[in-house]
Amino acid sequence: MSEQDSSEGAPKTGGGAPDDPSRRRMLKVGIGVLGGGVAAVCAVPAIGFVGFPLTHEVTSSGDGFLTVGKRSQFSAEAPVKVDLYASRRDAWTRVDSVKVGSAWVLEHEGKLVAYSTTCPHLGCAVDFDGNDSVFKCPCHRSEFKLDGVAASGPSPRPLDTLEIREEEGLVAIRFQRFRQGIAEKVEV
Amino acid sequence: MDWLDDRIGIKALLGGALDEDVPGGARMRYVFGSVLVYLFMQQVVLGILLAFYYSPSAASAWASTAYLNDQVTGGWFLRGLHHHGSSAMVVVTVLHLLQVVWAGAYRKPREVNWWSGLGMAGIVLAFALTGYLLPWDQKGYWATQVATGIMGTVPGGEPMQQLVQGGHEYGNLTITRFFAIHVFVLPLALAGLLGLHLWVFRKHGVTPPADLSEEELVQKTQPFWPNQLFLDVLAMALCGAALVGLTVYTHGAELYAPADPASNFVARPEWYFLFLFQLLKYFDGPLQIIATVIIPGAVAAVLLALPFLDRSPDRKPRGRMKVLAFVGALMAGVVALTALAIVEDANKESYREGVELAKQQAERARELAKEGVLPAGGTAVFDNDPKQKTRLLFQEHCATCHTIEGKGGNEAPTFDGYGTREWLTALVRNPADKRFFGGAKGHDTMEPTPKDSLSDEQLAAVVEYMVYLQGDQSEVDKALVEKGKTVWENDAECSGCHEVEAGAEGVGPTLAGRGTTAWVARVIADSSAPDLFGDTAQMPKFGDKLTQEQITALAEFVTSAGTQ
Ligand code: HEM
Ligand code: HEM
Ligand code: FES
């Protein structure tokens, strides 16, 4: 709050006439540079801030292997439907034990396999018919054999297998979703 | 530029804004108003950016603020700027007011300028007050409680308080109200008043120094563009640089632990409200209203009436000594009260400890928040604490029968003091006590051992031997162990049921390794193993229901209840 005239020492021009042009130019450039700097203080960090979801996983649900049960629960006799539970992250929120999907698990030719219950045609939940020993989709009657191959109906590809892992007698599945309605299995 | 001008007449618009004479020349002391405009615009931009992440509800306000501050790129910086920018606005508003008072710019014909300015000063304080609550952390929550509490104590203030906080208590409606006021009502109100303020200012022009003659004023006149604007922008840049420096230095704004209505917290308002807080200390009970309404009201009334109270013939400071003295005394009072509040707190042990504790809690909460906060939000962040997770697991699966930390059922042994010498002694003496197997129906396999079959002295030795058998030999009394071993082999009847070799089967569990975390974990998984409780086992098997990690954590929880 000084009472000092800050323009003192600058060339005085009377009667409201402007200063000499070069000084005026300098002031204008100064205004541009300082003003730009002031604006940049917010504008520059704002880019990374607003664009954060482009470069970071903001939501996630069970990307890893999810335990579904003991090895002894599964056999070659009939597939068992298991629900997959995982923690779901949504920005600042975490929900524990939400059902993220389900899978059919069975032993086929001595090996454990897991099929996504999501029909590769248009995404209905595939059932198992114990009498005929086939998987049947209730929506458009696609049928799949125990090895997952589409036996009849509109499904463009076999049932989608999920990665499965055995560890210390426990079975774990990695849950994924795939694009529907196309012949290739492409993760979404 | 020409293209644009042809279409929207931009040159005339800019010219209208910039073509103006500054009688007496450009001066640094005219910059405060412009710096305030800049700060306000910056707060608007920053506030809008914060709102990209901030979520106004009791469950999500804290968690979203922690997320934006600690996880989003640059979040701490932008939030820090908004936080310190709010302090800067308060400071510069005061400087601007002081310059206006010094110049005598409140006088006729600029009364409306003065009043709209006072209105804006009130709005700035309202911004600061409403914003402070939004993170819903301990500090904002408790400090704002005090402010709305004061509102409730003034006559007729109760309905006001309820209206402002949306009910009798703080909750979702408090946040949505404060949020709506902070981001919609106040910005619009401030922008509207600012429009009036600037319109009136342009009508009357700047108030030049009173000691310059008419000729000097004309002779020294400079154009606003670029001379005064350069000074204005220079001041903005200095202010901006100071804000950036402060934000980096403090690493942004503080964020305390989530608001916990059940806690007690050393509530302090933001520094610019400390003088009111201090003033309140001098007026107790029925006199409180003097500090909350009468003094602030009187000051506001005098300020509002200033254009009429000042009867001096001209603007020269010498003729307006009374006004200057009043405003000077006011400032001195505010500064003195603020200093007193700070000094008193600095000397108060309990306050310093409270702040230290709050900071530790804040750090812990923010670390835990990185795993995501459960949907209940706020203090639910502490459920991420591994110990708390285990505690919840215990509550869910074990507490119907077992007690720990004083909570739970008594149909199975209690774990407080688990495995200590005292616990073991009491167990051997009377296993049928409710503290041990008494609550478990039918679990009466273990016989009591009265004093006439085993003296206190003998039992102490046996207990020492049992502790030794657990496997940790560092903290046992060797001589006592030897004695205990002899008693065990010759006098005690325990060996009829309990073995002392690892894995050996008996009616009761073998004592080798008994009570260790690994042993407890085996009991949790399946207590009916032959070297554990065998046929007498009654506890459900958790090997299938819980993961190995969970079981180990529970076992640690149980054994650590004996070391506390
Ligand atoms: C957010 C708050 C405010 C903003 C953005 C603001 C903005 C401005 C601006 C840009 C000017 C013109 C240049 C200058 O002299 O600085 C001005 C002038 C003025 N302001 Fe403010 N102002 C604010 C608060 C206040 C307050 C709190 C008061 C007094 C109570 C006040 C009283 C005045 C007066 C009387 C003038 C005329 C100055 C003169 O004639 O020289 N303003 N204000
Ligand atoms: C349109 C204008 C504004 C918008 C949209 C806005 C928005 C916000 C939002 C969303 C928050 C919560 C985020 C957080 O707490 O970190 C916040 C906090 C805050 N705002 Fe504003 N704000 C605006 C203007 C202002 C102004 C003008 C001031 C002060 C004069 C101010 C002072 C505060 C304060 C003190 C906080 C608390 C910051 C902290 O966490 O420490 N705001 N604002
Ligand atoms: S969705 Fe399964 S057959 Fe169409």
The per-residue pLDDT for range A45-79, each reduced to its tens digit, is 999 999 999 999 898 876 778 888 888 889 888 89
Do residue B520 and residue B409 come from a single domain? yes
Residue B527 within any structural domain of the chain = yes
Q: Would an 8 Å CB–CB cutoff place B371 in contact with chain A?
A: yes
Residue B15 within any structural domain of the chain = no
* Tokens standing for residue B369: 């928040």
Q: Nearest CA of chain A to the CA of B50: how many Å? A: 9
Residue B554 within any structural domain of the chain = yes
Long-range contacts (CB closer than 8 Å, 24 or more residues apart) made by A49-56: A49/B49, A49/B52, A49/B72, A49/B73, A49/B74, A49/B75, A49/B78, A50/B49, A50/B52, A51/B73, A52/B72, A52/B73, A55/B73, A56/B73
| Residue B170: partners with Cβ closer than 8 Å, 6 or more residues away | B58, B141, B145, B259, B261
Buried b vs exposed e over B68-89: b needs ≥16 C-beta within 10 Å? bbbbbbbbbbbbbbbbbbbebb
Using an 8 Å Cβ cutoff, are B486 and B492 in contact? no
Question: Looking at beta carbons, which residues of chain B come within 8 Å of A41?
Answer: 42, 81, 240, 243-244
What's the pLDDT score for residue A16? 45
What's the pLDDT score for residue A13? 43
Residue A165 within any structural domain of the chain = yes
Query: Which ligand is closest to the CA of A156, given by its number?
Result: 3
Number of domains making up chain B: 2
Mutate to test the interface with A, among B1, B20, B28, B97 (most CBs of A within 10 A): B28
Query: Which three-class secondary structure string do you get for B163-180?
Result: HHHCCCCCCHHHHHHHHH
What's the pLDDT score for residue B494? 87
Strand ranges in A50-119 using DSSP code E only, listed in sequence order? 59-61, 65-70, 80-90, 93-108, 111-116
Please compute the mean of the pLDDT values over residues A1-19 and round it to a whole number. Answer: 42
What's the pLDDT score for residue B564? 61
Do residue A105 and residue A68 come from a single domain? yes
Q: What is the tens place of the pLDDT at every residue in B527-538?
A: 988 889 888 888
Residue A85 within any structural domain of the chain = yes
Q: Would an 8 Å CB–CB cutoff place B283 in contact with chain A?
A: no
Do residue B439 and residue B304 come from a single domain? no
CATH number at residue A107: 2.102.10.10
Do residue B253 and residue B304 come from a single domain? yes
Number of domains making up chain A: 2
Do residue A76 and residue A147 come from a single domain? yes
Query: Which ligand is closest to the CA of B273, given by its number?
Result: 2
CB contact under 8 A, B226 and A89: no
CATH number at residue B280: 1.20.810.10
In chain A, DSSP finds a helix count (H) and a strand count (E) of: 2, 11
- Using an 8 Å CB-CB cutoff, list residues of chain A that contact chain B: 1-7, 12, 14-16, 18-19, 24, 27-28, 30-31, 34-35, 37-38, 41-42, 45-46, 48-52, 55-56, 67, 70, 87, 89-96, 168
Do residue A37 and residue A78 come from a single domain? no
What's the pLDDT score for residue B162? 96
Q: Would an 8 Å CB–CB cutoff place B547 in contact with chain A?
A: yes
Domain region containing A45 = 20-55
B65, B120, B127, B176, best to mutate for ligand 2 pocket (most atoms within 8 Å of CB): B127
End-to-end CA distance of chain B: 77
Domain region containing B99 = 27-346
Q: Nearest CA of chain A to the CA of B188: how many Å? A: 21
What's the pLDDT score for residue A19? 67
Question: Looking at beta carbons, which residues of chain A come within 8 Å of B38?
Answer: 38
CA-CA distances (angstroms) from residue B140 to A132, B61, B102, B254, B259? Answer: 66, 12, 36, 10, 8
CB contact under 8 A, A16 and B222: yes
Do residue B406 and residue B477 come from a single domain? yes
The count of C-alpha atoms lying within 13 angstroms of the C-alpha of B138, restricted to the half-sphere facing its C-beta, is: 23
Do residue B390 and residue B333 come from a single domain? no
What's the pLDDT score for residue B319? 85
Q: What is the tens place of the pLDDT at every residue in B235-283?
A: 999 999 999 999 999 999 999 999 999 888 888 999 999 999 999 999 9
**Range of lowest pLDDT (A9-18, A110-119, B41-50, B365-374):** A9-18
Does residue B226 have a cis peptide bond before it, meaning omega lies within 30 degrees of 0?
yes
Domain end call among B292, B314, B346: B346
Query: What ligand 3 atom has the least distance to the C-alpha of A119?
Result: 2
Of A87, A92, A168, the CB nearest to B60: A92
Residue B487 within any structural domain of the chain = yes
Going from the Cα of B46 to the center of ligand 1, the distance in angstroms, rounded, reads 23
Residue A134 within any structural domain of the chain = yes
Do residue B328 and residue B409 come from a single domain? no
The answer, yes or no, to whether residue A149 has pLDDT greater than 90, is yes
Residue B373 within any structural domain of the chain = no
- Contact residues, B window 3-32, toward A, CB-based 8 Å cutoff: 21, 24-29
Do residue B337 and residue B407 come from a single domain? no
Residue A65 within any structural domain of the chain = yes
Do residue B279 and residue B410 come from a single domain? no
What's the pLDDT score for residue B408? 87
Distance, CA of A101 to CA of A61 (rounded, Å) = 10
The answer, yes or no, to whether residue A12 has pLDDT greater than 60, is no
What's the pLDDT score for residue A188? 81
The nearest alpha carbon in chain A to B43 belongs to A42
Distance, CA of A16 to CA of A187 (rounded, Å) = 73
Q: Would an 8 Å CB–CB cutoff place B475 in contact with chain A?
A: no
SS3 state at A162: strand
Length of chain B, in residues: 564
Do residue A40 and residue A65 come from a single domain? no
Residue B495 within any structural domain of the chain = yes
CA-CA distances (angstroms) from residue B458 to A88, B436, B466, B483? Answer: 57, 21, 12, 8
Do residue A41 and residue A118 come from a single domain? no
Do residue B225 and residue B96 come from a single domain? yes
Buried b vs exposed e over A91-112: b needs ≥16 C-beta within 10 Å? bbbbeeeeebbbbbbbbeeeeb
Do residue A64 and residue A115 come from a single domain? yes
Strand ranges in B230-283 using DSSP code E only, listed in sequence order? none
Query: Which ligand is closest to the CA of A118, given by its number?
Result: 3
Q: Strand order of the sheet with strand A150-152?
A: A127-129, A134-136, A143-144, A150-152
Distance, CA of B508 to CA of B531 (rounded, Å) = 8
* Tokens standing for residue B468: 């030794």
Task: Show the low-confidence residues of chain B (pLDDT under 50).
Answer: none
| ipTM value for the complex | 0.78
Of A1, A5, A38, the CB nearest to B102: A1
What's the pLDDT score for residue A62? 67
The answer, yes or no, to whether residue A23 has pLDDT greater than 60, is yes
Residue B479 within any structural domain of the chain = yes
Using an 8 Å Cβ cutoff, are B531 and B540 in contact? no
Do residue A69 and residue A125 come from a single domain? yes
The answer, yes or no, to whether residue A4 has pLDDT greater than 70, is no
Residue A157 within any structural domain of the chain = yes
In chain B, DSSP finds a helix count (H) and a strand count (E) of: 23, 4
Do residue A97 and residue A155 come from a single domain? yes
Do residue B266 and residue B315 come from a single domain? yes
Of B27, B64, B223, the CB nearest to A5: B27
Long-range contacts (CB closer than 8 Å, 24 or more residues apart) made by B2-10: none
Query: What ligand 3 atom has the least distance to the C-alpha of A126?
Result: 2
Within 10 Å of residue A123's Cβ, how many Cβ atoms? Answer: 15
Distance, CA of B206 to CA of B196 (rounded, Å) = 15
Of A6, A16, A46, the CB nearest to B28: A6
Residue B284 within any structural domain of the chain = yes
Do residue A116 and residue A43 come from a single domain? no
Q: Would an 8 Å CB–CB cutoff place B57 in contact with chain A?
A: no
Going from the Cα of A74 to the center of ligand 3, the distance in angstroms, rounded, reads 26
Do residue A82 and residue A143 come from a single domain? yes
Do residue A110 and residue A98 come from a single domain? yes
* Tokens standing for residue B258: 């989530």
Using an 8 Å Cβ cutoff, are B201 and B105 in contact? no
A116, A136, A137, best to mutate for ligand 3 pocket (most atoms within 8 Å of CB): A137
Residue A12 within any structural domain of the chain = no
Do residue B32 and residue B86 come from a single domain? yes
Domain end call among B280, B315, B346: B346
Using an 8 Å Cβ cutoff, are B222 and B26 in contact? yes
Q: Where are the alpha helices (DSSP H) in B454-499?
A: 456-469, 478-490
Do residue A44 and residue A112 come from a single domain? no
Do residue B336 and residue B420 come from a single domain? no
